[in-house]
Structure 1
């Protein structure tokens, strides 16, 4: 993957790339949106704790395809309030801590999810050459 960071536009204000170019012939995986739902059915309080579960679930899904965080080319995240952005971003930055080519990223504030205790949802695209 190649990070696309044109000097003609403002740089990203967080840990992401403006764009990512995928290599020809790459296998692509797209996850469903993951909520902060632990395997035991519990939902922790707070965006950071929920986002950590989201990213752990994403790693498990990517693992099924022989991929990991380094293969993520795009992250889409949704939070229910601006107050949840910082916690989400800490979890995202931890997820991407060892990644050399940062993915593109979208973060949106939404009115809610299927259950009121959920405050964050994350989905990713990943790609890897065979």
Structure 2
């Protein structure tokens, strides 16, 4: 994959790429939005912990396709308040730590999710040969 960073636009606000080019003929996986619900039905209290669980759920989906976090080329996240952005971004940065090519990223503030205790939702696009 190749990061796209045109010099004619401002650099990204955080650790992400403005765009990512996927080579031709690669397999693509797109996850549904993952909420912080573990297999035991418990929702962590803090946004960073919730986002970490969302990324763990993403990992399980990618593994089923023979992929890993290193194959993610785009991440979309939704938080219920600006106050939750820092926790999400800490989990996102930890998840993508050490990457040479960072994924593109979208982060939106939304009014809520299916249950009031959820503060973040994460979905990704991944590609691999």
Normalising by the smaller structure, the TM-score range is: over 0.9
Q: Distance in 1 between the 2:64 and 2:101 partners?
A: 22
Listed as ranges, the matches of 1:1-130 within 5 Å are: 1-129=1-129
Q: Please tell me whether the aligned partners of residues 78 and 108 of structure 1 are also in contact (alpha carbons under 8 angstroms).
A: yes
CA deviations 1:67-111 (Å, max 9, x no partner) are 111110100000000000000000000000032211000000000
How far has the Cα of 1:63 moved from its partner? 0.6
Q: RMSD over aligned Cα, in angstroms? A: 0.6
After the TM superposition, which parts of structure 1 deviate over 6 Å for at least 4 consecutive aligned residues?
none
TM-score by length of 1: 0.97
5+ long unaligned stretches in structure 2: none
Q: Please tell me whether the aligned partners of residues 70 and 98 of structure 1 are also in contact (alpha carbons under 8 angstroms).
A: no
Q: Distance in 1 between the 2:100 and 2:62 partners?
A: 18
The count of corresponding residues between Structure 1 and Structure 2 is 129
Q: Distance in 1 between the 2:112 and 2:81 partners?
A: 9
TM-score by length of 2: 0.98
5+ long unaligned stretches in structure 1: none
Name the SS for the 1:89 alignment partner: helix
